[in-house]
Amino acid sequence: SRRPQPPSFQWPSAICAATTTSASRAHGLYIGKSLAGYAPRNFEGMAKGFAKSPDDGSVFCPDIRRLDSTCLEVKMMACPIKDAWVEAGCSQEEIVTLLYCASALDEATLEAAGFDFEIELWSPGQEGCCLTRITEKAETRMAPTLPR
């Protein structure tokens, strides 16, 4: 799994980032347990249970760019937390840092659900928000299938 690289932090934002990341991660582990039944490769289930959650996608407006037997790739076209940070007057650099912290929720969710993933955070000039690629864990792809 590949998590985004952390932005450079300066005191006291490093402590705020660590606290926010820790809280996001804890909640993500909780959510991921409810999605574990979709592992190792039910990407249709992950599209509904993860990408289109909550409210069948009305909150994050997911753009499902790939959905097949090997991958779910989704770009969130709306992000209420990013919008709130913009509205609060955060700089683009601060928004990237806050998104990094918040992405710990998705990382932990996907880990606990039993998937590999890559997350590309939003950066200034991009449309929408973050892009996530979800794939089967490498160790399950490589495991031999035993005869029944």
Q: Which of 120, 119, 121, 114 is nearest to 136 (CA)?
A: 114
Scored b (16 or more CB within 10 A) or e, 107-131 reads bbbbbbbbbbbebebbeeeeebbbb
SS3 call for 129 = coil
Contact 79, 103 (CB under 8 A): no
pLDDT per residue rounded down to tens, the chain (148 residues): 665 656 555 544 655 667 777 888 999 999 999 999 999 999 999 999 999 998 999 999 999 999 999 999 999 999 999 999 999 999 998 899 889 888 999 999 999 999 999 999 999 999 999 999 999 998 766 655 555 4
SS3 call for 75 = strand
pTM of the model: 0.82
